[in-house]
Copies of this chain bind each other. A is one copy, B any other.
Amino acid sequence: MSLIKILEILAILVGAFSGFIEARSKKMDVVGIFIVAFITAFGGGTLRDILLDKRPLFWVTHQEYAILIFLLALVAAPTITAVRKIVSERLIVVADALGLGLFSIVGVAQALEAGMPVFIASMMGVITGIFGGVLRDIVCNEIPMVLRDGRPYAVCSFAGCWMYLLMQKAGVPVDFCMWTSALAISVFRLVTWHRGVRLG
Interfacial residues, chain A to chain B (CB-CB below 8 A): 23, 26-32, 35-36, 46, 50-53, 55-57, 59-60, 63, 66-67, 70, 77-78, 116-120, 123, 134, 138-144, 146-150, 153-155, 198-200
Contacts and interface: CB of A to CB of B under 8 A. Distances in A.
A120 B66 contact: yes
Question: DSSP class of A's interface residues: helix, strand, loop or mixed?
Answer: helix
Nearest to A143: B141
A98 B120 CA distance: 27
B139 A134 contact: yes
Nearest to A57: B51
Contacts of A27: 148
Contacts of A60: 51, 116-117, 120
A126 to B, nearest CB: 9
B146 A31 contact: yes
B35 A66 contact: no
A144 B46 CA distance: 20
Nearest to A53: B55
A13 to B, nearest CB: 18
Contacts of A154: 31, 35
A78 B147 contact: no
A139 B135 CA distance: 9
A153 B31 contact: yes
